Amino acid sequence: MTVTDLISDDIPYLSPLETVKKARRVMRDGKYEHLPVVSEGGEYVGLASETEVSDANPSALVESVCGASPFVGSSQDIYSVIGAMSQFHYSVLPVVDESHMYLGSITRTSLIDGMAQMTSAQVPGGVIEIETDARNFSTAVISNVAEYNSMKVMSLLSHPNGSHGIRAVLKLNGTETSSVIQGLERNGYQVHNVQNGDSKYSDMLEEHYDALIKYLEV
């Protein structure tokens, strides 16, 4: 999955030569907190915020209230997107190509949808939430435990928990998880939550996404 796969089709853009009055109407009608500003030639100019637009003179041009210019390049990875979302706290993150031409914008929702696809959130299977000391954490061990019990780890999402721990949620390709749980516990992993289906996996994924965002903000 590339950054361009995360682009949402729901985000319009503003012209730098439009009036603030028109920008206000677009943002109000669509309930947008931020909108990208793109030149007539398709070059990304910056990001206009609802606050800046609301405080500006209605007859002023959008280019006069377009100060910030966060973006990610189309060749960057999904972790760059998460880091930028965390750093800038904007509701949308524009994507540009090597020539700084605007390709589209990523939203928090489209990012979550992309992560759900990457982590097999919609694929039926068991979900196990685990925790261990950072020194004990090993994706190889986790994978070996699953494969020893005729399972495959479809995805694994982890984040630091406290100063010395790691918490993770793993998705398996089957729902008979008891033998995997026993194997993990024998290898020093505490099991906190088990779902032998996919009904709550999206919620668990979002919780771990939020935890990762908080970690990146530190």
Query: Could you tell me the two tokens for 161?
Result: 């928990």
Is residue 46 within 8 Å of 66, Cβ to Cβ? yes
Strand spans (E) along 10-143 = 34-38, 44-49, 72-73, 92-96, 102-107, 127-133
Domain residue extents for the chain: 3-113, 119-217
Per DSSP, the three-state class of 116 is helix
The one-letter code for the residue type at 103 is L
Please state, rounded to an integer, the average pLDDT across all residues of the chain.
Answer: 88
Residue-wise pLDDT tens digits, 144-197 = 999 999 999 999 989 898 889 999 999 999 999 999 999 999 999 999 989 886
Residue 18: which of 45, 75, 4 has the closest Cα? 45
The number of residues in the chain equals 218
- Nearest Cα neighbor of 67 from 51, 83, 86, 43 is 51
Q: Which tokens belong to 5?
A: 């796969």
- 119-217 and 3-113 share a CATH fold: no
Give the model confidence (pLDDT) of 6-27 as tens digits: 999 899 999 999 999 999 999 9
Question: Which tokens in the block code for residue 181?
Answer: 């749980």
Distance separating alpha carbons of residues 57 and 65, to the nearest angstrom? 10
CATH code for residues 3-113: 3.10.580.10
Fold of 119-217: Alpha-Beta Plaits (3.30.70)
pLDDT at 218: 47
Q: What is the pLDDT of residue 199?
A: 47
- pLDDT for 2 equals 84
Cβ partners under 8 Å of residue 126, min gap 6: 151, 171, 172, 174, 175, 176, 177, 180, 194, 195, 196, 197
pLDDT at 78 over 80: yes
Which pLDDT band holds residue 77 (cuts at 50, 70, 90)?
A: confident
On whether the CB atoms of residues 12 and 62 are closer than 8 A, the answer is no
pLDDT for the residue numbered 211: 58
Confidence of residue 198 (pLDDT cuts 50, 70, 90): very low
At 41-62, the pLDDT tens digits run 999 999 999 999 999 999 999 9
Q: How far from the centroid of its chain's Cα atoms is residue 186's Cα?
A: 33
Q: Under a CB-based contact definition with an 8 Å cutoff, are residues 155 and 118 in contact?
A: yes
pLDDT tens-digit profile of 86-138?
A: 888 888 999 999 999 999 999 988 988 888 888 777 788 999 999 999 999 99
